Amino acid sequence: MNSKEKFAKYAEILRNWSSRMNLVAPSTLSDVENRHFADSAQLADVLPPNAEVIDLGSGAGFPGVVLAILGWHVTCIESIGKKVAFLNTVRSELDLQNLTIFHGRVENFFPAFLIKNNKNAGDFVITARAFAPLVKILDYVKGINCRLFLLKGREIENEIAVAKQKYKFNYKLIPSKTGDGFIIIVDFDRQFHVK
């Protein structure tokens, strides 16, 4: 299966499962390719090509599964059992051997992952879409040096202002190609804790 066929199959599985559970907003199911696939795929333009991706709160697989189809090694973190079952089905049906699914909470993932894999910041990047406010994401990763590539809505300036009250970080905003939101790239140093 080439990537085009994988995306078609992914859309089919998503629409099928969405009839039984809430994976995405029902109004977006008629345009999955643009609303979800293209939105997630725009990260491919800014991600380091050989980075390992850790996707927080993956839900229906955005952006994690999309990035796996495009060739990145991705670990999707998801705490809700039904969504994990969906992600495992997608992984199996699309034969995505470069995709790992972690069933658990984000705050329980990093300590074990970093120890088990002897990883440091240069080895992976963190992605998320519609997951949590920026300050909460920084709370989750405050023990590590990392780069974050987050798909955010038009309220990102407010999220940055709140996060800056607690953390020091450098960031770059890139307007979304698919809507009125942004990609925010954050360089985060675990020592840059303000309060």
Residue-level pLDDT at 5: 95
- Mean pLDDT computed over 49-56: 92
Order the strands of the 99-103 sheet from edge to edge.
99-103, 73-78, 52-56, 124-129, 146-152, 182-188, 170-175
145-158 per-position pLDDT tens digit = 789 999 999 999 99
Residue-level pLDDT at 108: 87
Q: Which domains does the chain have, with CATH numbers?
A: 3-15+38-182 (3.40.50.150)
Residues contacting 195, CB < 8 A, separation 6+: 165, 166
Residue-level pLDDT at 120: 56
81-131 per-position pLDDT tens digit = 999 999 999 999 999 999 999 999 998 887 777 656 655 555 689 999 989
Per-residue pLDDT band at 191 (split at 50, 70, 90): low
Positive or negative: CA dihedral 93, 94, 97, 98: negative
How many other CB atoms sit within 10 Å of the CB of residue 180?
8
Tokens of 55: 């996707």
Residue-level pLDDT at 125: 92
Strands 182-188 and 146-152: antiparallel
